[in-house]
């Protein structure tokens, strides 16, 4: 069974500072993918970044980077130079290599950027 754990219900960060959102996972699939999505108050899910289980390097997309530690089963999202528009819910999700290819989501972290 797949499981995603996000232990930070809420986080605060000062504008222009960096912040790390934690995510740990559990799976028995040999190959899997890890995703981060942003959900603003309007509700849509915005894809941010992807990390494959066999990727040698940590993924980066602009101000977003993923700190992937496979042995620890963690996939933390790092947002650099926070902006007010980064205030939102952030979800970590995982897809295995078998089954329906659906995503398993964590409970999310609400990030608030303080001016």
Partner 1 sequence: DGGITQSPKYLFRKEGQNVTLSCEQNLNHDAMYWYRQDPGQGLRLIYYSQIVNDFQKGDIAEGYSVSREKKESFPLTVTSAQKNPTAFYLCASTPPPGEVGQPQHFGDGTRLSIL
| Interface with partner 1 (CB under 8 A) | 4, 9, 31-33, 35, 37, 42-45, 47, 50, 52-53, 91, 93, 95-97, 100-103, 105-108
State the minimum distance, in angstroms, from the CB of residue 52 to partner 1. 5
Contact 11, 21 (CB under 8 A): yes
Pick the closer one to partner 1 by CB: 44 or 115.
Answer: 44
State the minimum distance, in angstroms, from the CB of residue 9 to partner 1. 8
Contact 73, 59 (CB under 8 A): no
State the minimum distance, in angstroms, from the CB of residue 105 to partner 1. 3
Pick the closer one to partner 1 by CB: 100 or 115.
Answer: 100
* Biggest distance spanned by C-alpha atoms of the chain: 44
* Rounded Cα–Cα distance for residues 1 and 21 (Å): 23
State the minimum distance, in angstroms, from the CB of residue 82 to partner 1. 23
């Amino acid at each position: 069974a797949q499981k995603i754990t996000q232990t930070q219900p809420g986080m605060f960060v000062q504008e222009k500072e960096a912040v790390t959102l934690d995510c740990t996972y559990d799976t028995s699939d040999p190959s899997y993918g890890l995703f981060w999505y942003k959900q603003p108050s309007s509700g849509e899910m915005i894809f941010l970044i992807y990390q494959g289980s066999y990727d040698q390097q940590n993924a980066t997309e602009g101000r977003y980077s993923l700190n992937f530690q496979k042995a620890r089963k963690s996939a933390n999202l790092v947002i650099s130079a926070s902006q007010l528009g980064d205030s939102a819910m952030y979800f970590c999700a995982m897809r295995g290599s078998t089954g329906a290819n659906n995503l398993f989501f964590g409970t999310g972290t609400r990030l608030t950027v303080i001016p």
